[in-house]
Chain A
Amino acid sequence: MEKIFGLPSTVLEQMTHQFCPGCGHGIVDSLLMHELEEMGVKENTAIVWPVGCSPMAGSVSTINQVSAAHGRAAAVATGLKRSSKDTFVICYQGDGDLAAIGTAETIHAANRGENITVIFGNNSIYGMTGGQMAPTTMLGQLSTTTQSGRNSEQHGNPIRMAEIIAGLEAPKFVARYSVHDAKHVMQTKQGIKKALEVNKNGGYSFIEVVTMCPTGWKMTPEQSVKKIVEENLKVFPLGVLKEVD
């Protein structure tokens, strides 16, 4: 029998990932692992995985891995890349990490046009710590720290990081995708490919991926997908926000 599809060599077969059922992080990580294999850069890539759910893919990846403190991935990536120009440097961060505690690092690495790719998994919640409000939580959304729903007076509004990054001069590719269905997963794959190509050619790229967190949202995976379509994508519209050749 011919094997026509399987795990890339960037992922360990004997290990299983630890993501919850219906979580989107695993999909994004999987796309990234496939893409790194296809691009032939797996031997000289370092992925910066900071704190939160996002780094859990590290336990099944064979790519060289760096752990960063909460929010500091882009700063770590800056130092790493500047001192090793031949290394392909990628940050994979969640929303608490990238859009709250690491906002300064995120924006300034983008503004300097560091030669890195930042992949931002936006699931509108702090998953790892048990479902607290994130800066990207929808208005009205329940969380353990917005128990009657997020309201803008008290908590501010969901922050649109891709738009903020796209407003800067230096970034070469900024886009937002979603992984709530197969069609969008394929679009995300193309986006990651494009972002990594920009990286290879020497530029900063930023991909925001809207994903589901059924555990944190206290929903079934099906309800989560429905919420993405009906709520999240209205606040976080998909598409390429900036592309510079």
Chain B
Amino acid sequence: MKKEFLKGNEAMAEAAVRAGCRFFAGYPITPQNEIPEHLSRRLFEVGGEFVQAESEVAASYMVYGSSMTGTRCMTSSSGCGLALKAEGIGYITGARLPAVVINVGRGGPGLGQILPSQQDYLSATKAPSNGGARAFVLAPSNVQEAVDLVYEAFDIADKYRCVCYVLTDGVIGNMMEGVVLPEMRDLSSLPDKSDWVVTKRGPGPNTQFGNKRIITSWQNTGEELEATNQVFADMLEGWKANETRYEAYQMDDAEVVFAAYGTSARVAKTVVNKMRAEGIKAGLLRPITLFPFPEKPFEALDAAKVKKVICLEMSIPGQLIEDVRAFVDKKIPVEHFGRSGGVILKPEEAYEASKKML
């Protein structure tokens, strides 16, 4: 298979098309603009639709509207754009609709910076909207993985009728790297949604009065909403049990464990290699699903062996570290080194800072 050399944003957009995405609505914001630009052309070539919305808010609701027809659909944005899309993400989640959201992270809070950052970890994994809405969050660390995870995100979204959120950053979005693109999905092979889509009538999970389909996040009584909340809670437990993913790099005999995701994990790999070359037993635990968080490998770290856990993040203060601390044995010190604001974490400084912590 030919390995093409593509920009992350463009590659992710093409992966979406090949996964069967046939609707995209978005709003320009740096550093993710190549995604809507690519899709504005490609979706029409494959019989899909692209809308440049009047706002991020509107874009999130266009995706909501498209999803209820059974169409695979997506939106993308960055930083403060996701804050605007949060409203729609909540409605999509509450109405049990599948959708894919890509965040090509930039600095914050507020307008922040257009430069790469990982400052949206907490908003993506803990509260992508109001009312306890949760999304399935994937974090690729290179362009190939970004392509593979975007491709798969549509399956995850369909399987659970949830928002599958791909959290990247301006480095992965804007760098070019070799990538093998997946094959074009045959739309007829995609999951059957005819029992709940609003474009059909008849019995289904969201049918009223015999034939009427209703798509809503509204519940008529507190008890009904509570029951729905319980359905979500059970789903999240299922994710935790069955869907967590991570990469363990040089972990077999690791005494110094780095925890990092996305671009920072690549930086961490370079640091691990450098330390290993000096005889320091370093390793890396890289969460691929940020939510559900891979608790087990962190819980399994042996305090008799592991001297330190170091979280590398492009965020100040650290955000990933909150999850890492929650699951690592309290006897093992957990520390953070990061850059933020769009200053990209570099392996040399990460190495120096980590050495000082040992």
Direct contact of A and B (CB under 8 A): yes
CA separation between A77 and B199, bound complex, in Å? 12
Q: Which residues of B contact A (CB under 8 A)?
A: 22-23, 25, 49, 51, 53-55, 57-59, 61-71, 73, 87-88, 91, 95, 198-199, 201, 209-218
Q: Is the Cβ of A83 less than 8 Å from the Cβ of B22?
A: yes
A86 at the interface (CB under 8 A from B): yes
Closest 5 CB pairs of A and B: A79-B65, A79-B62, A67-B216, A80-B65, A75-B61
- State the Cβ distance, B208 to closest chain A Cβ, in Å: 8
Looking at chain B's contact residues, the main secondary structure is mixed
A65 at the interface (CB under 8 A from B): yes
Q: Which residues of B contact A61 (CB under 8 A)?
A: 212
- In the assembled complex, 11 residue pairs joining A and B whose CB atoms fall closer than 8 Å, in A order, are A66-B68, A77-B65, A82-B65, A83-B22, A83-B49, A83-B66, A83-B70, A87-B198, A104-B54, A105-B61, A112-B51
Q: Could you say which of A12, A58, A66, A72 contacts B58, with CB atoms under 8 Å apart?
A: A72
Besides A78-B51, A104-B54, 6 other A-B contacts (C-beta < 8 A): A64-B214, A65-B214, A78-B65, A79-B66, A83-B23, A84-B69
CA separation between A80 and B212, bound complex, in Å? 17
- State the Cβ distance, A6 to closest chain B Cβ, in Å: 17
Closest to A112 in B: B51
List A144-168 residues whose CB lies under 8 Å from chain B. Answer: none
Instruction: For the complex, count residues of A whose C-beta is within 8 A of B.
Output: 33
Closest to A43 in B: B201
Q: Is the Cβ of B58 less than 8 Å from the Cβ of A69?
A: no
Q: A67-B217, A67-B218 are in contact. Are A79 and B54 (CB under 8 A)?
A: no
A198 at the interface (CB under 8 A from B): no
CA separation between A107 and B55, bound complex, in Å? 12
Q: Could you say which of B23, B59, B63, B216 contacts A66, with CB atoms under 8 Å apart?
A: B216
- State the Cβ distance, B131 to closest chain A Cβ, in Å: 12
Q: Which residues of B contact A46 (CB under 8 A)?
A: 198-199
A17 at the interface (CB under 8 A from B): no
Q: Is the Cβ of A82 less than 8 Å from the Cβ of B49?
A: yes
Q: Which residues of B contact A87 (CB under 8 A)?
A: 69, 198-199
CA separation between A65 and B23, bound complex, in Å? 21
Q: Which residues of A contact B216 (CB under 8 A)?
A: 65-67
Q: Which residues of B contact A58 (CB under 8 A)?
A: 214
Q: Which residues of B contact A12 (CB under 8 A)?
A: 209
Q: Is the Cβ of B58 less than 8 Å from the Cβ of A75?
A: yes
Q: Is the Cβ of B23 less than 8 Å from the Cβ of A79?
A: yes
CA separation between A79 and B64, bound complex, in Å? 7
CA separation between A72 and B55, bound complex, in Å? 11
Q: Which residues of A contact B71 (CB under 8 A)?
A: 83-84
Q: Which residues of A contact B69 (CB under 8 A)?
A: 80, 83-84, 87
CA separation between A35 and B23, bound complex, in Å? 31
Q: Which residues of A contact B68 (CB under 8 A)?
A: 66, 80
